[in-house]
Structure 1
Amino acid sequence: MFTIEHEFDSTVITLVDEGRPHLGEDVIINAFDDCVTLEQHEPTTDRVMRVTLSMSQLRDLAAALDLPEGVYKLVRDNGAD
């Protein structure tokens, strides 16, 4: 399950783990104009862990999800719409 909320300066997506038997902590994704952050509460330290991805890293991640093992470099086609 997930939720989508639009805040003043970002879109917030929360991923809720409904699997079983072990449920992971919710993952909160904040999409800003210049970066995306992923946050998850770490119960053993009682802290929120945060990872920040640049928009370039996010594009690479999106492309990597559909590619086989290997090393890649995305090249933008400036003539594309």
Structure 2
Amino acid sequence: MFSIEHEFDTTVITLVDEGAAPLQEDVIINAFEDCITINQFDTRLEEMRTITLSMAQLRDLGAALNLPEGVYTRLPVGKGS
């Protein structure tokens, strides 16, 4: 299950782990104009953990999900196809 909320300066996506145990804590993704933050509560440390991705890293992640194993370099925007 997931939810999408649009706020003033961000889009918030919350991913809820459903199914058989053990379940993971919710993942909260904040999409800002210049970066993406991914938050998840760490039960071992009892604190929220945050990862920040640049828009370029997000594009690379999206591409990587559909590619075979290997090392890749993206062409700059507007170069090649």
| Shared fold, TM over 0.5 | yes
Aligned match of 2:27: 27
Structure 1: which 5+ runs fail to align? none
Aligned match of 2:58: 58
* Code of the aligned partner of 2:47: R
Q: CA RMSD in A?
A: 1.4
Structure 1 segments (4+ residues) deviating >4 Å: none
Aligned counterparts of 2:79 and 2:48: Cα–Cα separation in 1? 42
Larger CA deviation: 70-79 vs 1-10: 70-79
Aligned counterparts of 2:44 and 2:78: Cα–Cα separation in 1? 47
Q: Deviations over 1:38-70 (max 9, x none)?
A: 000001111000000000000000000000000
Aligned counterparts of 2:35 and 2:77: Cα–Cα separation in 1? 22
Question: If the length of structure 1 is used for normalisation, what is the TM-score?
Answer: 0.93
Q: Structure 1 vs Structure 2: percent identity of aligned residues?
A: 60
Question: If the length of structure 2 is used for normalisation, what is the TM-score?
Answer: 0.93
Structure 2: which 5+ runs fail to align? none
Aligned counterparts of 1:7 and 1:30: Cα–Cα separation in 2? 10
* Code of the aligned partner of 1:21: A
Aligned residue pair count: 80
